[in-house]
């Protein structure tokens, strides 16, 4: 059967959000839309309370611009626009829409009416299932999720400059793109997915481009941002990509991956010795000082050369050869030494992708779905039984320490306010 036509061309899918989205119900918004003085008083209060939701140029003032026509999709819904007094790089004054978090982007629906359906997507419920339960059609729910992928991941998730993580994890999720291999270059920090972009090859050039989307968005938030470390597996193309993106970054190799290679080669071949091997490896991992780490590695290597042969010994020697790389972690006590945290995010990503049988279309469509998952994942509520739920509603809440709204989707939309546009950030 002939393969359908599709485009492999990369393109910019994230767009600066020229909507200021604020925590106000649609009824309250519509009540004051015709009263300019009342609207200005309310908006000034919002600017004072939430400056990070507005462009930095708001400090130079604004004027009320106009009122948009009534929405044909949502009768009775109208938004006002403001014009900034500051002149942008193009010599123009920016016009921004002041929107309510009760309304989805593009007037696609009311937030409270679509929230439950979008919540179920995290469990892999297919679009036809959402249509069966909530009405509409499959394409409606597909476009609803894809549209969220146009927000910037970093500036939507991170609401203060000091919340940009100094220590990161990076790995590629293997996927299928129209029957071919693909790789989602994923960046995680402080329990949030901060980068997710589809690469069609696993070479250095493709991965640099894919991971580079995270750097670009992080620099929109903080032009001088440079993470201290990134934890990766042993794939050289990944490590070279991060060195190319951040010249001063330190690569921390995942100790867990090194152990897993030993396990795969020893668990069956030298079954009787494997418990001792496992214990020695994890004793090395828990070494308290660099000298202790190095001495335990030397002892383990000597024991292995007396007790093991073949591929089992080769796996141990490979781990021991990376001693200097593993020792770098002692210089950065807060760095990630294993990839456990990123693995916890890649598993639900796999559930999201497998329900759609991965990607069957253009690269742009695949990228939008990938990015939408990352943003939704950061704001979806934790399971009520999870211990972390006692203190935080979602990963974004845990990262920032606050929420704008008790409902996760309202909080996501408000957080996306002016995403991609330089904003004033402060510590809440």
Pairwise pLDDT comparison (117 vs 343), residue with the higher score: 117
Domain end position, chosen among 331, 358, 383: 331
- In this prediction, what percent of the chain has a pLDDT beyond 70? 97
Cβ-contact 119, 130 below 8 angstroms: no
pLDDT at 358 over 60: yes
117 in the same domain as 27:
yes
What residues contact residue 216 under an 8 Å CB cut-off, 6+ apart? none
Cβ-contact 258, 318 below 8 angstroms: yes
Going by their DSSP bridges, the two strands 167-177 and 62-67 should be labelled as unpaired
pTM: 0.91
Considering the domain boundaries, does residue 351 fall inside one?
no
115 in the same domain as 29:
yes
Instruction: Give the pLDDT score at 104.
Output: 95
- pLDDT tens digit sequence for 25-64: 999 999 999 999 999 999 999 999 999 999 999 999 999 9
410 in the same domain as 318:
no
Considering the domain boundaries, does residue 129 fall inside one?
no
Q: What is the mean pLDDT of residues 411-417?
A: 96
- Other CB atoms within a 10 A radius of the CB of residue 386 amount to 10
Considering the domain boundaries, does residue 346 fall inside one?
no
Considering the domain boundaries, does residue 151 fall inside one?
no
Cβ-contact 144, 114 below 8 angstroms: yes
Based on the structure, what is the number of domains in the chain? Answer: 2
410 in the same domain as 317:
no
Kindly give the residue spans of alpha helices, DSSP state H, lying in 286-339.
290-307, 310-321, 323-327
Cβ-contact 79, 114 below 8 angstroms: no
Give backbone dihedrals phi and psi of 229, rounded to 5 degrees, phi first.
Answer: -140, 160
Going by their DSSP bridges, the two strands 192-199 and 180-189 should be labelled as antiparallel
Instruction: Give the pLDDT score at 36.
Output: 95
Considering the domain boundaries, does residue 359 fall inside one?
no
The CA-CA-CA angle for residues 149, 339, 155, to 5°, reads 30
410 in the same domain as 315:
no
Q: Which residues of 264-284 are buried (b: 16+ CB within 10 A; e: fewer)?
A: ebbeeebeeebeebeebbeeb
Domain end position, chosen among 316, 331, 346: 331
- pLDDT tens digit sequence for 181-235: 999 999 999 999 999 999 999 999 999 999 999 999 999 999 999 999 999 988 8
Considering the domain boundaries, does residue 393 fall inside one?
no
Report the Cα 314 to chain-centroid distance in Å: 37
The CA-atom distances, in angstroms, between 10 and each of 52, 69, 281, 356 are: 31, 35, 43, 21
109 in the same domain as 26:
yes
Domain ranges, residue 307: 255-331
How deeply is 218 buried, as exposed, middle or buried, from its count of CB atoms within 10 A (0-12, 13-18, 19+)?
Answer: buried
Cβ-contact 153, 218 below 8 angstroms: no
Considering the domain boundaries, does residue 362 fall inside one?
no
- pLDDT tens digit sequence for 298-320: 999 999 999 999 988 998 999 89
Total residue count of the chain as it appears in this document:
428
* Confidence band, pLDDT 50/70/90 cuts, at residue 4: low
Give backbone dihedrals phi and psi of 69, rounded to 5 degrees, phi first.
Answer: -60, 160
Q: Where are the beta strands (DSSP E) in 103-258?
A: 167-177, 180-189, 192-199, 229-232, 250-253
The span from the CA of 51 to the CA of 54, in Å, is 6
The CA-CA-CA angle for residues 345, 369, 171, to 5°, reads 35
The span from the CA of 359 to the CA of 5, in Å, is 13
β-strand partners of 103: 110
Domain end position, chosen among 331, 355, 378: 331
DSSP letter for 423, please.
B
Considering the domain boundaries, does residue 65 fall inside one?
yes
409 in the same domain as 321:
no
């Amino acid at each position: 059967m002939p393969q359908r036509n599709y485009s492999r061309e990369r393109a910019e899918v994230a767009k600066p959000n020229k909507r200021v989205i604020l925590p106000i119900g649609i009824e309250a918004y519509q009540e004051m839309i015709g009263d300019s003085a009342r609207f200005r008083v309310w908006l000034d209060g919002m600017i004072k309370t939430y400056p990070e939701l507005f462009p930095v140029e708001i400090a130079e003032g604004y004027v009320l611009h106009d009122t948009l026509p009534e929405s044909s999709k949502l009768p009775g819904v109208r938004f006002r626009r403001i014009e900034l007094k500051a002149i942008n790089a193009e010599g123009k004054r920016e016009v921004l829409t002041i929107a309510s978090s009760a309304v989805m982007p593009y007037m696609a629906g009311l937030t409270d009416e679509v929230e439950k359906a979008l919540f179920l997507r995290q469990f892999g419920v297919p679009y036809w299932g959402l249509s069966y339960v909530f009405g509409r059609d499959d394409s409606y729910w597909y476009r609803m999720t894809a549209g969220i992928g146009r927000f910037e991941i970093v500036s939507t998730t991170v609401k203060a400059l000091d919340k940009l993580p100094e220590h990161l994890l990076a790995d590629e999720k293997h996927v299928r793109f129209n029957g071919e291999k693909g790789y989602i270059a994923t960046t995680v920090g402080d329990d949030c997915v901060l980068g997710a972009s589809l690469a069609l090859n696993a070479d250095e050039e493709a991965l640099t481009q894919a991971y580079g989307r995270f750097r670009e968005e992080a620099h929109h938030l903080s032009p001088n941002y440079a993470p201290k470390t990134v934890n990766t597996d042993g794939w050289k193309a990944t490590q070279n990509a991060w060195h190319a993106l951040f010249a001063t970054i330190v690569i921390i190799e995942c100790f867990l991956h090194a152990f897993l290679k030993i396990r795969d080669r020893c668990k069956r071949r030298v079954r009787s010795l494997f418990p001792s091997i496992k214990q020695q490896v994890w004793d090395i991992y828990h070494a308290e000082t660099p000298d202790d780490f190095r001495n335990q590695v030397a002892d383990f290597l000597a024991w292995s050369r007396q007790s093991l042969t073949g591929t089992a010994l080769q796996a141990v020697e490979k781990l021991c050869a990376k001693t200097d790389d593993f020792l770098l972690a002692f210089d950065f006590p807060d760095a990630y030494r294993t990839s456990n945290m990123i693995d916890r995010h890649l598993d639900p990503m796999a559930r999201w992708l497998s329900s759609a049988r991965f990607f069957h279309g253009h690269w742009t469509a695949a990228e939008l779905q990938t990015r939408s998952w990352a943003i939704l994942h950061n704001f979806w509520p934790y399971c009520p039984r999870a211990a972390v739920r006692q203190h935080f509603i979602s990963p974004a809440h845990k990262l920032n320490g606050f929420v704008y709204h008790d409902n996760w989707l309202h909080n996501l939309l408000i957080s996306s306010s002016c995403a991609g546009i330089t904003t004033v950030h402060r510590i809440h």
